[in-house]
Chains A and B, each alone.
Chain A
Amino acid sequence: MENVIEVKKLRKEFKAYSSRAGLKGAFRDLFTRNYKIVPAVNDINITVKKGEMVGYIGENGAGKSTTIKMLTGILTPTSGEIIVNGMNPHKEREKFVQTIGVVFGQRSQLWWDIAVQESFRLLKKVYKVSDEDYEQHMQHVIRTLDIEPLLDKPVRKLSLGQRMRCELAAALIHNPPLLFLDEPTIGLDVLVKLKIREFLKEINEKYNTTILLTTHDLSDIEALCERVVMLDEGKVIYDGALRELKEKWGDQKELHFQFLKKVNIKTVQNVTSGLPVEWEVDEKDQTFIAILEDRDELISQVIAKVVAAFKIKDVKINETSTEEIIRKIYEKGAVEVG
Chain B
Amino acid sequence: MDKYIEMIRIRFLMMLAYRTDYYTGILIYSINIGAYYFLWNAIYGGKEQIEGLSVVQMTTYVAVSWMARAFYFNNLDREMAQEIMEGKVAIELIRPYNYLGMKTMQGLGEGIFRLFFFSTPGLIIVYFVFPIQFSWEPRVWGFFAISIVLSFLINTQLNLLTGITTFFLYNNAGLIRAKRVVIDLFSGLLLPISFFPGWAQSIMKFLPFQGISYTPSMIFTKGFSHQQAIAAIGQQLIWVIILILPIYVLWRVAKKQLIIQGG
A interface list, Cβ under 8 A from B: 14, 65, 69, 72-76, 93-95, 97-98, 100, 102, 104, 106-109, 111, 113-114, 118, 121-122, 125-128, 154
Contact = CB atoms under 8 A, between A and B. Distances in A.
Contact of B3 (A73, A93, A113, A126): A126
Given A94-B98, A113-B18, A125-B2, A118 B260 contact: no
B91 A113 contact: no
A107 B88 contact: yes
Contacts of A108: 91
B17 interface: yes
Given A72-B93, A125-B3, A126-B97, 16 more contacts: A65-B263, A74-B90, A74-B93, A74-B260, A75-B259, A75-B260, A76-B258, A94-B96, A106-B262, A107-B87, A109-B94, A114-B10, A114-B13, A122-B6, A128-B2, A128-B3
B93 A93 contact: yes
Nearest to A156: B17
A93 B98 CA distance: 10
B39 interface: no
B96 A69 contact: no
Contacts of A109: 91, 94
B95 interface: yes
Contacts of B93: 72-74, 93, 97
Interface of B: 2-3, 6-7, 10, 13-14, 17-18, 87-88, 90-91, 93-98, 255-260, 262-263
A122 B17 contact: no
Given A113-B17, A114-B13, A125 B6 contact: yes
Contact of A94 (B88, B91, B97): B97
A216 to B, nearest CB: 12
A122 B94 contact: no
Contacts of A95: 96
Given A113-B18, A118-B10, A125-B6, A107 B258 contact: no
5 contacts: A94-B97, A104-B91, A107-B87, A109-B94, A114-B14
A104 B93 CA distance: 13
Contacts of B96: 94-95, 97-98, 126-127
